[in-house]
Chains A and B, each alone.
Chain A
Amino acid sequence: MITDSANLRSLRQPLRRPPWRRLTGLLFVLPALVFFALLLLYPILLTFYLAFTRWTGFDASQIEFVGWANFAEMLGDRVFWLSFWHTIGFVIGTTVLLNLLGLGFALLVDLRLPGSGFFKAVLFLPVLLSPVLVGVMWSRMLDAFGIVNQLLKLAGLTKTPILFLGDPQLSLATVVLATVWQYTAYDMLIYFAGLQAIPGVLLEAAAIDGAGPLTRVRRITIPLLTPVITVVLLLNFIGGFKVFDVVYVMTRGGPNHHSEVLATYLYEQAFRFNAMGYASALALVIVALSFAVSYLRMRTAGSVEELS
């Protein structure tokens, strides 16, 4: 018996890694772990703690634990609810438009018509830019003296210029518009890559059976594209929840908070009013929204792997 188990162990031994090798693994990961733990994990945990405190951010000894007070305050804070619903509105507006345009254009480009190369190249240009630059461009374009108002006046549609960014009804919409202009090509290219993965045989077979182009798109392309659609939707959602740059540059959340989003409100609370606790609680709302959506994303992750 004893020899038997000794034999077994010696058989098993080579399969196991020698201890030094395990150490090598750890050493390889260590530098990454240091950066990750100190500058990502630890700050996030600290955000969770600070969300339950009141603090100006200057003297650590003056951190005051207040329990759920920040969250209670949030529920009654009009500007919080504005920024919350604006964020949701921004996310839905950009996601719907980006996906309709992205998928539609991907299908058109996939026909490989003359001009589609030009189209793809041109549409991709703004994807490369910082949202800050896009914001600067669009705020001048939509200004009272900008080209949009010049054209509207020339066409005789308006007598006085429309103040897109200063209008409570329009400011958020203009930010959505600028973002859609910037990222349409991004969604389109992911959809285009997804379309390349659909076997042409299926579409040909359907065509032989008498299915028209629209039926083929509806019955074959869209169903087979579902995993890609899910990925793009979630990408747009997660990107939207943290939107900051373009809003900060175009409207600063104004006029009078009418385009305030969670990230700009967080910035204002933390770095204008030194309300670190309340800002941390706002940060947790962004985290919660992103994680709720990411959770859905993880459940569809299996189908994504094949794509890339």
Chain B
Amino acid sequence: MIATWQTWRRLSLPLKLASLFLVVYGLLSLVPVLWVFSLSLRAGREVFTTLFVPSSLHPENYLVAWERFGFATLFRNSILVTAASVLLTLAVASLAAYAFARLRFRGADVVFFALLLGVMVPPAAAIVPLFVMFKGLAVFNNQGALVATYVAFGLPIAVLILRGFFLTIPAELVEAAKIDGCSELGAFWRIVLPLSRPALATVTIFLCMSNWNEFLLALVFLRDTELYTLPVGIAQFVGQWDSPWELVAAGVIIAALPIWLLYLGLQEQFVKGLTAGALKG
């Protein structure tokens, strides 16, 4: 704090203003969050009359919102769907990426190019056939079908990032392991994967974020309220106009908080995961 103050004092006037501007803009962009937080602690009658600081605090709003909107179920569903889809994508994508990086096989280029094109396909472009297919296969309104779809749409970017990383691992390491008696799968599992932790972390964060927040597919595929994931639950219960404002606000904070807490702990990884995914995609 003192060091910051001393650097600030030594700055020229334009830089002082620039520094001040950053802080003020940062605070302003926090206003929506702070306002929602203040709403979430108000008594119902104070929702429309108070600007920022409520006269009495009502943390019990959080308990009411948690119960009323069924957050326990929503969190459980979102955690299940995200964990299953991300783990499955990682397993399937890392195997494929390894094959594209190290094992040449007939048709590899064609498959890889198709996969590359897949990066650009938005879910909206496939949603009608998927909806009809799942209905025909009687897996409509089924979280498994949603997970499988997330895997398919997460694969292209995951393969792309992992392949790029696998290419930087010296081939000698893999060859040495094989001379020592490792199978192809063994070398992949014991040598390549452990060395690829940074890339796996990047892909994991990227996939977790996009699947955790995904809305359109979940909205179309899930009909039973007990199956809803968080975004669908928030759109259908929390965001409804007949929901009391202080409960809506508490619901928003409840839904946002876990990710923000994770971000506090893993700030570097989050930034890397999200921007790396962007640059490669």
Contact surface of A with B, Cβ cutoff 8 Å: 17, 21-26, 28-29, 31-33, 35-36, 38-44, 46-47, 50, 57, 60, 105, 108-109, 111, 113-116, 118-119, 121-133, 135-141, 145, 147, 150-151, 154, 181, 184, 186, 189-190, 193, 231, 235, 238, 241-242, 244-245, 248-249, 263, 266-267, 270-271, 276, 279-280, 283-284, 286-287, 290-291, 294, 304, 307-308
Question: Are B22 and A108 in contact, with the CB atoms below 8 A?
Answer: yes
B194 CB-CB contact with A under 8 Å: no
Question: Are A47 and B216 in contact, with the CB atoms below 8 A?
Answer: no
Q: Which residues of B contact A116 (CB under 8 A)?
A: 19, 22
| 0 or 1 for each of B18-62: is its CB under 8 Å from A? (1 = yes) | 111111011101111101100100000001100100000000000
Closest to A283 in B: B125
Closest to B108 in A: A25
Closest to A139 in B: B239
Closest to B150 in A: A39
A168–B22 CA distance with the chains assembled, in angstroms: 34
A22–B108 CA distance with the chains assembled, in angstroms: 10
Closest to A42 in B: B129
Q: Which residues of B contact A139 (CB under 8 A)?
A: 239
Q: Which residues of A contact B191 (CB under 8 A)?
A: none
Interface residue from B31, B47, B260, B271 paired with A125 (Cβ < 8 Å): B260
B81 CB-CB contact with A under 8 Å: no
A130–B184 CA distance with the chains assembled, in angstroms: 40
With A130-B231, A286-B122: A28-B99 Cβ-Cβ less than 8 Å: yes
Q: Which residues of A contact B275 (CB under 8 A)?
A: 186, 189-190, 193
With A35-B148, A231-B279: A57-B155 Cβ-Cβ less than 8 Å: no
Interface residue from A29, A50, A129 paired with B213 (Cβ < 8 Å): A129
A-B contact count (CB 8 A): 288
Question: Are B19 and A113 in contact, with the CB atoms below 8 A?
Answer: yes
Q: Which residues of A contact B108 (CB under 8 A)?
A: 25, 29
Question: Are A35 and B155 in contact, with the CB atoms below 8 A?
Answer: yes
- A-B contacts, 22 of them at CB < 8 A, read A22-B103, A22-B104, A46-B128, A121-B267, A122-B26, A123-B26, A124-B271, A128-B259, A128-B260, A132-B235, A132-B239, A133-B252, A133-B255, A135-B235, A137-B32, A141-B32, A249-B239, A263-B124, A270-B131, A283-B127, A283-B128, A291-B120
Question: Are A140 and B15 in contact, with the CB atoms below 8 A?
Answer: no
A23–B270 CA distance with the chains assembled, in angstroms: 37
Q: Which residues of B contact A150 (CB under 8 A)?
A: 51
Contact surface of B with A, Cβ cutoff 8 Å: 4-5, 7-8, 11, 15, 18-23, 25-27, 29-33, 35-36, 39, 47-48, 51, 91-93, 95-96, 98-100, 103-108, 111, 114-115, 118, 120-133, 135-136, 148-149, 151-153, 155-156, 159, 164, 184, 188, 209, 212-213, 215-216, 219-220, 230-231, 234-235, 238-239, 245, 248-249, 252, 255-256, 259-260, 263, 267, 270-271, 274-276, 278-281
Q: Which 3 A-B pairs give the minimum distances between C-beta atoms?
A: A25-B105, A25-B103, A39-B152
Q: Which residues of A contact B249 (CB under 8 A)?
A: 140
Question: Are A147 and B35 in contact, with the CB atoms below 8 A?
Answer: yes
Question: Are B118 and A40 in contact, with the CB atoms below 8 A?
Answer: yes
Interface residue from B26, B96, B129, B155 paired with A28 (Cβ < 8 Å): B96
Question: Are B118 and A308 in contact, with the CB atoms below 8 A?
Answer: no
A69–B252 CA distance with the chains assembled, in angstroms: 44
Question: Are B118 and A22 in contact, with the CB atoms below 8 A?
Answer: no
With A35-B151, A118-B26, A140-B36: A242-B122 Cβ-Cβ less than 8 Å: yes
Known contacts A22-B106, A46-B133, then 14 further A-B pairs from the complex at CB < 8 Å, ordered by chain A residue: A24-B99, A25-B103, A31-B96, A35-B152, A40-B156, A43-B129, A43-B130, A47-B125, A105-B22, A123-B29, A124-B271, A127-B274, A249-B235, A266-B124
With A31-B92, A279-B128: A248-B235 Cβ-Cβ less than 8 Å: yes
Question: Are A114 and B121 in contact, with the CB atoms below 8 A?
Answer: no
Nearest CB of chain B from residue A288's CB, rounded to whole Å: 10
A36–B97 CA distance with the chains assembled, in angstroms: 14
Q: Which residues of B contact A151 (CB under 8 A)?
A: 51
Nearest CB of chain B from residue A271's CB, rounded to whole Å: 6
With A57-B131, A130-B231: A122-B120 Cβ-Cβ less than 8 Å: no
Q: Which residues of B contact A111 (CB under 8 A)?
A: 15, 18
Question: Are B263 and A124 in contact, with the CB atoms below 8 A?
Answer: yes
Closest to B78 in A: A130
A116–B21 CA distance with the chains assembled, in angstroms: 10
Nearest CB of chain B from residue A291's CB, rounded to whole Å: 6
A244–B105 CA distance with the chains assembled, in angstroms: 40
Nearest CB of chain A from residue B116's CB, rounded to whole Å: 8
Nearest CB of chain B from residue A101's CB, rounded to whole Å: 9
Nearest CB of chain A from residue B220's CB, rounded to whole Å: 6
